[in-house]
Structure 1
């Protein structure tokens, strides 16, 4: 049995990763079965996706951000947006590079770019990190007296949450409105409405045009995110909603949270139904692109391979030599590594279905990314992260780990996070 850092074996890492991946796969299988027996046809799938975007996802986004962020946390983690911008830029470059290699057109390039830029920041990363936090003492931060597994888990979840919400903001703006936007009709197929609207905008005052443009850019999840940030930065308001078990918390706060917890299971159910073979009546909606297989391959390479080759060395060097802020935290290094190699975000399937773009390609990317590649890539990335911890000297990975956390313990923590945005 090969060991990593004393007695933490490859087999144990594989088992932890398998648990994290299977949580997602099992729910998707239920959606697949429901579609196979006819309960989830295309019209039902789209109705659920629209309802999710309009109601459940905004509630989820609001409850997660408003309840966990505050002004102090925003200051302490101010370096994360910088890292997010660098990571997004490198992923964008990888998507563009692969698209140029395969000579994709603009819409195909946009799809591959969206797959590269928007990675999963919750389901697999959170489940995997939680299991590691409770089984690997090497993740404890020497700078914190009496650091323990609970603290490690909390810090890791905070890092993942920030990456998650930054990704949400970009995903539901640039991703929804540009990269995965509905296909525009040729000018010859449009009526005079567009020209009239354009002329009206040109004649309107500047501030009116600004608000019109902003309104066209916004959507329910973004409105929820804006409202959550406002609540998170106003302590009395946040206290009433999530600070104590008063009337507002037990009615409005818990009501929003309960509705939001429905979002992720619905996304996974619809994802599984998308993977089912379409019936004869739905074949016209599942028309594959001419370069279907190449698009899937390019998406996975630009999301799960190329960014790792470029980003992981940068993160490791920054952790070893910069010694600033949270970069010294072993939990941050491991969570950043896991995020870098994560599959494309599951929520992209929701956007593709709503905008009716590249649905077969999206299903293929998620199938290969989660069912086939997620397990081996997660094992490899965790092994590399533990080796880098030794090299950076911010933690002693040689600490012996005599047993892995029980499945029950890991499940209890995971249940507390059910409803995270994938």
Structure 2
């Protein structure tokens, strides 16, 4: 141990804000607390950033939309480079401003939040992915982030909402390789060290008005998005994440809803495209699962897919025999179902639901170790696959099911009475 003080991110922010006030270096917008603070000398820090070889070599630079980095954004355009800006709070996608679209002398105006839309274009994630894929060199060669506080180790604290970290992971998802990260700050924002998490974005360069610090950080840059760590509300507040899930749906899945001692565990065949895109079970257009649950008496009202966690309160869980998402059952092989059945049986052994409901005859056949052509009837099966757990077979709740809705509802009502 070298005796270095390691601050929490909250402590680091507080120290930086206090330091800016003490140095009388804070400037509009006020209050600086709770934001990336603007500081006297931001223009000089931008000019020092210009000396970085990585900046000089970059064809395009991504810069955060906060006030202290406005001089950087204007400089990027003035230097004939393409400017990429994330929309504030990731409400939209990324804005690209090409220098040829900005008349000389209007760079600062074009780089401002209030006017960037006039000079730039909003890129969908699909369009940005195509730009990245088609380029011989990374179209974004340097990323400049704002910081509330930063340490010589490369550890950084933003304003506490994680947008810079998320933006970097989104670019990773779209195929951008790891690129250098720089931040422009006042010296008062530099603290000894900061405790960070695995998903936090470290910086390679700290640029102040008077000094360039190459951190040579040992901290790893975040990779792709850890979807399982996101709060379900993030998809609602950051539409760009929904767009990304739609773009990457084949690589995604849904979460299991499992708990010990469930009354009923529903087992689907696998997530469909819509469910994988939004991250919630049975979310496909017209899927009847949530309606069936309500009308059969499992829930007091019809839940929406994003409310799926509430099912655990009613003793109901959800899983799938195959976790891979697909456009339909026809894209799955029998071998996949058989392989998935082994894991499903292990889940049932571990969590011991009273009833396991196999949504589809092939789901049951694989789970029970039957042949693909074995005769199966709807409802309770004569012999349990696992002792002490009732096997119940019901049709797939998909809107494309050929089984009439009334038949499916009657089976759900029968299940409810067990």
TM range (shorter): under 0.3
**Which structure has greater helix proportion?**
1
Question: Which of the pair is proportionally richer in strand?
Answer: 2
TM-score (norm 2): 0.21
Higher gyration radius (CA): 2
* Larger RCO (CA within 8 A; separation ≥ 6): 1
